[in-house]
């Protein structure tokens, strides 16, 4: 094997390109296909989470036997949590996908102190192929204090993460 086989060329623009080292053990074969059958969908109730759920039927149409797991994570101190968003999104997906042979839609509420860790644990436990969630709507100040939940999930996940944000002004 030549050393050049471990490099791939990435075009930055029309006039520039750079080579990136990629060991052969990490390269996908030309015949390899990305298959996403197990989806984890954290629900927060916000408009971006709703957009993520609306996008899901189109993405799931590429799956052989889709398994969709919706979850809503609540903090232990939240004694009056509202599961209506979870129920509404589950009903929507059941109407759109539920009749498809082999598909499975499951929803659950989870109590945890840290939302990103809870979502990552669920993804690992259920061997999720992808996590799709809405982008954070919180301002920069709130994100600095609490952290950006979707970003934390994307940074620490071992599976594909899709973060959805609706059009501005909606």
Query: What residues does each domain of the chain span?
Result: 28-164
User: What's residue 4's pLDDT?
Assistant: 46
If you average pLDDT over residues 19-24, what whole number do you get? 48
User: What's residue 3's pLDDT?
Assistant: 44
The helix (H) or strand (E) run that includes residue 111 is: strand 104-111
Question: In CATH, what number does 28-164 get?
Answer: 3.40.50.620
What whole-number distance in Å separates Cα of residue 158 and Cα of residue 143?
A: 23
User: What's residue 11's pLDDT?
Assistant: 43
Other Cβ atoms closer than 10 A to 163: 17
């Amino acid at each position: 094997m030549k050393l050049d086989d471990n490099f791939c060329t990435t075009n930055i623009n029309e006039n520039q390109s750079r080579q990136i080292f990629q060991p052969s053990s990490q390269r996908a074969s030309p015949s390899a296909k990305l298959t996403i059958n197990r989806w984890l969908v954290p629900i927060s109730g916000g408009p971006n989470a709703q957009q993520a759920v609306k996008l899901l039927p189109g993405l799931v149409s590429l799956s052989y036997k889709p398994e969709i797991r919706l979850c809503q994570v609540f903090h232990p101190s939240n004694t009056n949590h509202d599961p209506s968003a979870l129920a509404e999104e589950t009903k929507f997906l059941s109407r759109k996908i539920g009749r498809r042979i082999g598909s499975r839609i499951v929803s659950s509420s989870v109590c945890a102190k840290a939302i990103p860790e809870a979502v990552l644990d669920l993804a690992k436990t259920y061997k999720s192929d992808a996590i799709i969630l809405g982008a954070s709507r919180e301002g920069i100040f709130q994100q600095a204090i609490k952290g950006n939940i979707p970003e934390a999930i994307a940074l620490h996940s071992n599976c594909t993460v899709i973060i959805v944000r609706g059009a501005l002004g909606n």
